[in-house]
Amino acid sequence: MMAKRIAIGIDIGGTLTKVGLVDREGNLFGHTDFPTTEKKSFQDYLDRIKDTVDDLLSKLDFDYELVGMGVGAPNANYYRGTIEYAANLIWKGVVPIVADLKKHFDLPIHITNDASAAAIGEMIYGEAADMRDFMVITLGTGLGSGIVANGQLIYGHDAQAGELGHVVIDRNGRWTGLGRRGGLEAYVSSTGIKRTVFHLLCDSMEDSVLRDYSFNDLHGEIITRAAEQGDSLAQQAFEMTGTILGQQLANFTTFSHPEAFFLLGGLAKAGKWIFEPTKKALEENLLPFYKGKVKLLPSGMMDKNAAILGAAALVWNN
């Protein structure tokens, strides 16, 4: 029997580093994670990755051929194989992670940012296998985006394309983490909807179960549950969030005319509460010749280990 071809997928997050072994069909043959900050030095961190991969490989009970390694990370530069000035990671400046990993692994290694990895994952393992033009919007702490046009991921001149969370939608609007006003992710993300809840708690005197939560204690699932239990304020928060997202997806359509937008991440898990107002606002705001032609879909990676699969997909895409 032929050896099974396996890719290593690694997702480096501010909190956790996730590692898994994935085949071309998206089957996961073992995965694990460890705290990204567990090791103080970057060299120790690389050793930790090496040990973790070796451990996972040692448990495989079939012949395999390692095809390559894909890494998803914030502020990753695909062209240079670096992580650059990542605000949420402990290593500062420019980290030549691909070159360093190659000292441990004699394999092709690719890195890109997490939302771009998700878009490639959608092509390889998700619902976009037959699509040449689509976008993946990740709704987590912030809003990330991976854009595919002509069947290729758009990397941009210096590998920093797809920062749609920072599109300014209101010049007098909410502050973002980058010290600017009105960035989209200040409204549309797990954090954004929390901020909208707090806006509504301030703006009205309406009763709501959400009046019992501090900002730090409030999480997306609590807002979803409140909406499901009929809490009008929670429902309004979803309505406002989806409306803004739909309006902006209509704007994004004028760039690359995608066949579909896929939503992924914590806020996307709220299901109809976020999808319905988004779809309505998208359709209402599309130009006449786009109407009825742009799909809004849950990511095909939603219930899978999207972070590891997205990273592994880089291997099959290269």
Q: Which residues bind a copy of itself (CB under 8 A)?
A: 84-85, 131-133, 147, 149-150, 152, 154-164, 166-168, 171, 178, 180, 247, 250-252, 254-259, 285, 287-290, 293
In angstroms, what is the minimal distance from the CB of 259 to a copy of itself?
Answer: 4
* C-beta separation of 137 from 275 below 8 A: no
**DSSP secondary structure string for all residues of 197-238:** HHHHHHH-----GGGG--TTT--HHHHHHHHHTT-HHHHHHH
Burial class (CB in 10 A: 0-12, 13-18, 19+), 225: middle
To a copy of itself, the closest distance from the beta carbon of 140 in angstroms equals 17
Ramachandran class of 286: left when φ > 0, alpha when ψ lies in -120 to 50, beta otherwise: beta
Residue 193 CB, nearest approach to a copy of itself (Å): 20
Residue nearer to a copy of itself on the CB measure, 208 or 253: 253
DSSP 251-298: HHHHHH--SEEEEESGGGGGTHHHHHHHHHHHHHHS-GGGTT--EEEE
Nearer to a copy of itself, 19 or 120 (CB): 120
C-alpha–C-alpha distance, residues 120 and 145, integer Å:
11
Rounded to a whole number of angstroms, the minimum distance from the CB of residue 167 to a copy of itself is: 5
Compare residues 9 and 126 and give the one whose CB is closer to a copy of itself: 126
Q: Kindly state the tokens that stand for 120.
A: 């490639």
Give the orientation angle of helix 232-256 with respect to helix 272-285, to 10 degrees.
50
- Nearer to a copy of itself among residue 56 and residue 250 (C-beta): 250
Least spacing, CB of residue 32 vs a copy of itself, in Å: 32
Kindly state the smallest distance separating residue 238's Cβ from a copy of itself, in Å. 20
Cα(52)–Cα(34) distance, integer angstroms:
9
| Residues facing residue 263 across a β-bridge | 137, 298
DSSP string, 58-69: HT--S-EEEEEE
Of 27 and 152, the one with the shorter C-beta distance to a copy of itself is: 152
As measured in angstroms, the least distance from the Cβ of 281 to a copy of itself is 11
Nearer to a copy of itself, 215 or 255 (CB): 255
Between 160 and 232, name the residue whose CB sits nearer to a copy of itself. Answer: 160
- Dihedral sign for Cα atoms in the order 163, 167, 173, 179: positive
